Structure 1
């Protein structure tokens, strides 16, 4: 009986990384060679709150799902991340007390560093305690940033980060051509940089160039929801409704409450004259982003169209899609 109790206590301890039994061994959350990447231990609820305040959007988890307690913790952090509007990417690295196991340890360590550098927003890399596996990734991260610094150019990562922020500010202000000009000075085209570039092209109705930029994002980060949504909006602009339907559906399967995809699929249903479905989609989008006047306008248009005489044309101009992006 005592062995069973000890075993149960051991499992409980492992499943509670912030307990008094584990806390003394956990590493502190720290900065890394990149200002957009943090490193630390497994994040519990309080950590998620702090990480969100810090601007973290992506969790890079090094937990190994083949280890039972880490599988449970991985599922829990995915739930917490979804609640806080973050994305979890898992690069399994098997390790017990610093002893590596598994065939993909080195490969996933490099991949985790690259994913963190290419994340949309600030990334947080963690293992269980924030020690061995996380520090292994930190070494690859430092090497990547160092390579970007001395790749035969005069630009530095800090200069690229500053240019990226200016480009995003120009995009938010509607200066799409100016944003593209700033992006052209950036030497390291991360997925985050390419996303801004692609949406600039889209807003300027340079659809072929937008497609090319979104495709580059997917080459570096397969399945990226923002790039998939961007390509779907390009399809919508060109009235390729079946392709747009598939793209927005793919995003919503991954992120059911993604507002831009809800609105995109709503435009598809509107053009298909499927009024009830279009109204449902835009109503969901409006509930999550009530400050967006375009969503309310579409709801009014749908309700007017649904009561219009049969055969009345839906708005099919590409400009309608061009205005409906995040």
Structure 2
């Protein structure tokens, strides 16, 4: 029980530290992504989306912020919105394997990755991307 309390307190301190960092630097993508991840883990995706929207206002088109927002949207089942963000990110950096992988996963979750889909990469390359992303 003590370990859980200490662990929970440590997470709250981390969250507060990240929030302070974002107040000081609204475009701090590292802090935003870390905080969004923590919020998503706590099932507070609305807060994570709001946070990422604010960061994207400070640094429009940031690849990592777009990707993180896509992940949150996918988690909410909003796959079409997530896919639009992944495609926007891929338009800026077509070779980004992390975004390409997330788009592939989103298409699969959405059921769009079947035969004749507009999957971003051939299925044979997908297994390679899964290995690389770990």
Q: With structure 2 as the length reference, what TM-score do the two structures score?
A: 0.69
Q: Does 1:258 align with 2:101?
A: no
How far the C-alpha of 1:238 sits from its partner, in A, is 1.5
Mapped to 2, the partners of 1:204 and 1:260 lie a distance apart of: 23
Count of residues in Structure 1 that have an aligned counterpart in Structure 2: 116
Q: 1:228 aligns with which of 47, 66, 79?
A: 66
Q: Does 1:189 align with 2:25?
A: yes
Mapped to 1, the partners of 2:124 and 2:51 lie a distance apart of: 31
Mapped to 1, the partners of 2:34 and 2:97 lie a distance apart of: 18
Mapped to 2, the partners of 1:281 and 1:205 lie a distance apart of: 32
Contact between 1:195 and 1:217, CA under 8 Å: does it hold in 2? no
Structure 1 partner of 2:77? 239
Call closer, same or farther: CA 1:177–1:284 in 2, change over 3 Å.
farther
Indicate the RMSD between aligned Cα atoms, in angstroms.
2.6
Structure 2 partner of 1:248? 86
Structure 2 partner of 1:267? 105
Mapped to 2, the partners of 1:240 and 1:232 lie a distance apart of: 9
Contact between 1:198 and 1:213, CA under 8 Å: does it hold in 2? yes
Mapped to 2, the partners of 1:254 and 1:209 lie a distance apart of: 26
Q: State the SS of the aligned residue for 1:200.
A: helix
Kindly indicate which of the two structures has a greater share of residues assigned to helix: 2
Mapped to 2, the partners of 1:204 and 1:267 lie a distance apart of: 22
Kindly indicate which of the two structures has a greater share of residues assigned to strand: 1
Mapped to 2, the partners of 1:234 and 1:240 lie a distance apart of: 9
Q: State the SS of the aligned residue for 2:24.
A: coil
Mapped to 2, the partners of 1:282 and 1:177 lie a distance apart of: 37
Q: With structure 1 as the length reference, what TM-score do the two structures score?
A: 0.32
Contact between 2:40 and 2:48, CA under 8 Å: does it hold in 1? yes
Q: Does 1:179 align with 2:11?
A: no
Q: Does 1:283 align with 2:118?
A: no
How far the C-alpha of 1:232 sits from its partner, in A, is 1.2
Mapped to 1, the partners of 2:13 and 2:104 lie a distance apart of: 31
In the alignment, structure 2 segments of 5+ residues that lack a partner are 1-9
Call closer, same or farther: CA 1:185–1:248 in 2, change over 3 Å.
closer
Mapped to 1, the partners of 2:66 and 2:11 lie a distance apart of: 21
**Higher-Rg member (1/2):** 1
Mapped to 2, the partners of 1:238 and 1:184 lie a distance apart of: 23
The structure showing larger relative contact order (alpha-carbon pairs under 8 Å, at least 6 residues apart) is 2
Mapped to 1, the partners of 2:125 and 2:12 lie a distance apart of: 32
Mapped to 2, the partners of 1:273 and 1:185 lie a distance apart of: 40
